[in-house]
Amino acid sequence: MPIRLFFEQHGEALFRDQEETVIDELTLAPDGVPLVIATGGGAVLRPANRQHLRERCTVVYLRSTPEELFRRLRHDTQRPLLQVKDPLAKLRELYDERDPLYEQTSHYRVDTGRPSVGTLVNMIVMQLEMAGLLNPPSPEQSPVNPV
């Protein structure tokens, strides 16, 4: 079910309850199982989510300014929290609320700006390699093949 429809039919509170359950389950994956979890922006609102992510995972915060998010999302009609008269003001409000929580939860931060997806992935991989969490690729491998 699309998130917007879920919010309309069941409300944000039930969505956050289910999100918390899924994050708890996914972050208990056995050691050695490679897993990437791309949470929704509000996942950090719940203390249990912050704790599970911080203690059980390596969290990379992809930080974007409200203005950059607005540029990317201004035509998006599926994000329920942005279906308001002034989406940029709402993004600023959400950023003010969530940024400190992401800073508290994350182990690493990458400021996204406007680089390509490939460049962002390479930035993340380099941070994880420098931290000793990933082995550097062999010369014939590349974390991301440029398109």
137 pLDDT band, cuts 50/70/90, is: low
Average pLDDT over residues 39-52: 94
Whole-number Å distance between alpha carbons of 121 and 119: 5
* Beta-strand runs (E) in the chain: 60-63, 108-111
Question: Given this model, what pLDDT does residue 67 score?
Answer: 95
Domains parsed from the chain with CATH numbers: 3-130 (3.40.50.300)
Whole-number Å distance between alpha carbons of 96 and 65: 10
**77 three-state secondary structure:** coil
For all residues of the chain together, what is the average pLDDT? 88
Give me the amino acid identity at 43.
A
| pTM greater than 0.85 | no
pLDDT in tens, 84-103: 999 999 999 999 999 999 99
147 pLDDT band, cuts 50/70/90, is: very low
Query: Cβ(81)–Cβ(24) under 8 Å?
Result: no
Question: Given this model, what pLDDT does residue 18 score?
Answer: 95
Q: Among 115, 109, 103, 106, which residue's Cα sits nearest to residue 68?
A: 115
Whole-number Å distance between alpha carbons of 41 and 22: 15
